[in-house]
């Protein structure tokens, strides 16, 4: 009877083209004379091994394996975890995708693991299986050049299945997004320039997504910023952090935000933004509900005419905010509704909730047609004409008035009074409180001070990830780090400056030492010359 650790199938026994390692074959004892064939542990017939590359493998195991001289096992189930609101469990956010890609590339390029098979394994928890498969699939799409279908086919080999992702609403769910939706979202984000890990700032993403530090995320870099709704003043109330408009102004100006769109009740005076030079628009609709066609149209018109980036918020910056930004993505980048939802959630988990998902599905066809018409009009314009001028021409044709001028049909989209939210706890309040409570581990520095101090550090770019095939060096911030966000480059520059300041002293010390050693020989020569003169 062989021991448990000896019941291992041979890696070489699987066909070269197979992506699934056999789990039904009997155990084979490892040969001491051969190191080219690696044997790994299988305890159950349900264990699954999927070959991603010749060295990288993804596995679903029901017992924890042990690494050996030829196989390296690792898991991220307890390292990269989704922070849920209610019953939602994924997909993992953009920072976790970045960290995972860094980890894989580091292991593949490690000299000590050059001859090892690297196996990313996950356990029996179906939610963690889905998130692990999501990370593996994203790596295949981003770094291995796989199409979404190819990545999905590899992960779904045989009878493998993964549970789909749901929204962050409380209660039951009747709408889901799949791994394939997520892979398509990532692929199209790369295609349109939304996603570029060579310029991705991990520290900034992880810092500003926290409720105490502003609770903001870029959905489309340099174009759309989703953030939590500001309040009249900065304070901590009812378990979550509230920040005044002035707290965001330095960050907005430093990142070329020119337009703010408010979708919830009036909790601050818009003049606090407009007096600072921003354009401000109010497009109210009820928390947890869907916008009217008039609101969608005006939102798109405002965004198409904005000169810089647009910052959008509701109460929590999740449901209403994510829905309208998804409408823009569907119109101008022809993403499907599920792809747009997937991308918004990867950037800002918890976005698009409840009936807003079905609303986007219903709007998909019409938004695609509007986008085709918009692009056709742009192509027909003279070369070099400014984008805003083209948009204004289209608006003139459609007889729509914007630019801060109130429409005569304003009552068409103001279907409710924002007073309805003032004295009631809504879905946005609950989601914001949940996010703030789970993230608040230390006393936060006031956002105004943090944002103002980070303006200069944001100007310095983070170290890029060189190489088209992978990441050569990871620059990350520890999850337990309690200090304020600072760029890593200035720290290196300070060390270099200190080293440069020490160099003159070292050179001076060396010159004195050399002179000291030279004195005895000089003194001997002097005595010999003096005796010669006396003789």
Tell me if residue 146 falls in helix, strand or coil.
Answer: coil
The angle at the Cα of 99, spanning 95 to 101, to the nearest 5 degrees, equals 115
At 329 the pLDDT is 99
Q: Of 314, 327, 347, 458, which is the active-site residue? A: 314
Query: Using omega within 30 degrees of 0 as the cis cutoff, is the peptide bond preceding 256 cis?
Result: no
Whole-angstrom Cα distance, residue 301 to residue 327?
Answer: 12
At 381 the pLDDT is 72
Annotated active-site residue 314? The verdict is: yes
For β-strands 224-227 and 235-237, DSSP reports them as: unpaired
Tell me if residue 524 falls in helix, strand or coil.
Answer: helix
CATH class of 4-26+37-155: alpha beta
At 430 the pLDDT is 61
At 380 the pLDDT is 81
Q: How many residues are given for the chain?
A: 535
Question: What letter does residue 392 receive in the DSSP assignment?
Answer: H
Distances (CA, A) of 91 to 130, 148, 164: 8, 16, 9
At 8 the pLDDT is 38
Distances (CA, A) of 236 to 31, 159, 386: 64, 50, 44
Q: pLDDT tens digits for the chain (535 residues)? A: 444 343 333 333 333 334 444 443 333 334 433 333 443 444 445 899 999 999 999 999 999 999 999 999 999 999 999 999 999 999 999 999 999 999 999 999 999 999 999 999 999 999 999 999 999 999 999 999 999 999 999 999 888 999 999 999 999 999 999 999 999 999 999 999 999 999 999 999 999 999 999 999 999 999 999 999 999 998 887 667 899 999 999 999 999 999 999 999 999 999 999 999 999 999 999 999 999 999 999 999 999 999 999 999 999 999 999 999 999 999 999 999 999 999 999 999 999 999 999 999 999 999 999 999 999 998 887 555 555 555 565 555 454 333 443 443 443 444 444 555 555 666 666 666 666 655 554 444 444 444 444 444 344 333 333 333 333 333 333 333 333 333 333 444 444 444 434 444 344 344 444 444 444 555 566 666 666 665 5
CATH class of 201-384+394-459: alpha beta
Burial class (CB in 10 A: 0-12, 13-18, 19+), 529: exposed
Whole-angstrom Cα distance, residue 341 to residue 357?
Answer: 8
Q: What is the CA radius of gyration of the chain?
A: 30
Ordered by start, the domain boundaries in the chain are 4-26+37-155, 201-384+394-459
Tell me if residue 420 falls in helix, strand or coil.
Answer: helix
Q: 245-254 and 447-459 are packed helices; what angle lies between their axes, rounded to 10 degrees?
A: 0
Question: What letter does residue 169 receive in the DSSP assignment?
Answer: -
At 80 the pLDDT is 97
């Amino acid at each position: 009877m062989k021991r448990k650790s000896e019941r291992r199938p041979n890696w070489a026994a699987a066909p070269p083209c197979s992506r699934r390692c056999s789990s039904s074959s009997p155990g084979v004892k490892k040969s001491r004379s051969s190191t080219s064939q690696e044997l790994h542990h299988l305890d159950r017939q349900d264990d699954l091994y999927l070959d991603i590359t010749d060295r990288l493998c993804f596995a679903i195991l029901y017992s924890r394996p042990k690494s050996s001289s030829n196989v390296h096992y690792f898991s991220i189930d307890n390292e990269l975890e989704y922070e849920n609101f209610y019953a939602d469990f994924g997909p993992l956010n953009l920072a976790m995708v970045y960290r995972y890609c860094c980890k894989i590339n580091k292991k593949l390029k490690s000299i000590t693991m050059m001859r090892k098979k690297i196996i990313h394994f996950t356990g029996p928890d179906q939610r963690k299986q889905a998130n692990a498969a999501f990370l593996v699939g994203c790596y295949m799409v981003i770094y291995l050049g796989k199409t979404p279908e190819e990545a999905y086919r590899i992960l779904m080999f045989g009878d493998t299945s993964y549970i789909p992702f749901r929204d962050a609403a409380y209660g039951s769910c009747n709408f889901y997004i799949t791994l394939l939706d997520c892979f398509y979202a990532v692929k199209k984000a790369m295609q349109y320039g939304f996603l570029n890990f060579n310029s991705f700032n991990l520290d900034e993403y992880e810092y500003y997504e926290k409720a105490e530090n502003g609770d903001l995320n870029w959905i489309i870099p340099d174009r759309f910023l989703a953030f939590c709704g500001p309040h009249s003043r900065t304070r901590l109330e009812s378990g979550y952090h509230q920040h005044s408009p002035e707290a965001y102004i330095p960050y907005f100006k430093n990142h070329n935000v020119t337009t703010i769109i408010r979708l919830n009740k009036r909790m601050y005076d818009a003049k606090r933004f407009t007096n600072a030079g921003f354009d401000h628009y109010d497009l109210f609709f009820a928390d947890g509900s869907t916008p009217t066609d008039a609101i969608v149209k005006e939102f798109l018109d405002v965004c198409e005419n904005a000169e810089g980036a647009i910052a959008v918020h509701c109460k929590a910056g999740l449901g209403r905010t994510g829905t309208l930004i998804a409408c823009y993505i569907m119109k101008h980048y022809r993403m499907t509704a599920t792809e747009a939802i997937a991308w918004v959630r990867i950037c800002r988990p918890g976005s698009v909730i409840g009936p807003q998902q079905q609303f986007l599905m219903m709007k998909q066809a019409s938004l695609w047609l509007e986008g085709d018409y918009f692009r056709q009009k742009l192509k027909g314009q003279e070369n070099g004409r400014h984008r805003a001028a083209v948009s204004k021409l289209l608006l003139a044709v459609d007889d729509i008035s914007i630019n801060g001028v109130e429409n005569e049909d304003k009552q068409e989209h103001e279907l409710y009074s924002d007073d309805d939210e003032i004295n009631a706890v809504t879905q946005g309040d609950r989601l914001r409180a949940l996010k703030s409570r789970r993230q608040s581990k230390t006393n936060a520095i006031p956002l105004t001070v943090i944002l103002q101090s980070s303006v200069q550090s944001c100007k310095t770019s983070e170290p890029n990830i060189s190489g088209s095939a992978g990441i050569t060096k990871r620059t990350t911030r520890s999850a337990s780090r309690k200090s304020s966000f600072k760029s890593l480059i200035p720290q290196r520059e300070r060390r270099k400056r200190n080293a440069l300041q020490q160099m003159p002293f070292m050179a001076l010390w060396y010159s004195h030492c050399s002179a000291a050693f030279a004195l005895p020989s000089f003194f001997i020569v002097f005595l010999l010359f003096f005796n010669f003169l006396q003789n």
